Amino acid sequence: MTKLTPAEAAAELNRLFAEEVEASIRYLHLVNAVKGLDRVLVEPILREGVRETLEHADVIAKKIRALGHVPKLDIQLSCPPRAVGAREALRIALTFEEAALEAYQDVLRRVEGDVPLEEFIRSQIAVESEHVAELKQLLVE
Ligand SMILES: [Fe+2]
């Protein structure tokens, strides 16, 4: 497979940028949607989620800049004004973490042949997989 052009690579990275920004906003909403004492349980995890997803978004934006492009951000999301318990909050976090992981895996297939980009995506997949595994462990009944 031929190496992607910088514009093609930037387009792939834009998808991941949007995915991470969206996840960070969802974490921010979620941390404020947890009801009562449950907040004590999951607030540190959710706040760490806000921090980490923003950090990932920033790393991806830097990669896009390195390709000579300006990140494109076009997101649409809606978070309902509904209180959630600790377990439900983690379940919701798991759904968007899994969606992000899937997006990385999809991009990995599409950047095949571009070794530096492949390596970067692979290392992100390792981190994201660990995060998904941690959430799953917390959700074990
Ligand atoms: Fe991430």
- The reply to whether 41 falls in a domain is yes
The CATH number of the domain where 40 resides is what?
Answer: 1.20.1260.10
Domain carrying residue 103:
6-138
**Number of helices followed by number of strands (H, E) in the chain:** 4, 0
- The reply to whether 84 falls in a domain is yes
In the reported structure, the alpha carbon of residue 136 is separated from the centroid of ligand 1 by a whole-number distance in angstroms of 16
In the reported structure, the alpha carbon of residue 80 is separated from the centroid of ligand 1 by a whole-number distance in angstroms of 23
- The reply to whether 1 falls in a domain is no
pLDDT tens digits along 3-22: 789 999 999 999 999 999 99
Place of tokens 């540190």: 44
- The reply to whether 13 falls in a domain is yes
pLDDT tens digits along 74-113: 999 999 999 999 999 999 999 999 999 999 999 999 999 8
- The reply to whether 12 falls in a domain is yes
How many domains does the chain fold into? 1
Per-residue pLDDT at 2:
67
In the reported structure, the alpha carbon of residue 84 is separated from the centroid of ligand 1 by a whole-number distance in angstroms of 23
CB neighbours of 66 closer than 8 A, spacing ≥ 6?
Answer: none
- The reply to whether 32 falls in a domain is yes
Q: Model confidence at 31, in pLDDT bands (50, 70, 90)?
A: very high
Q: What is the mean pLDDT of residues 27-48?
A: 97
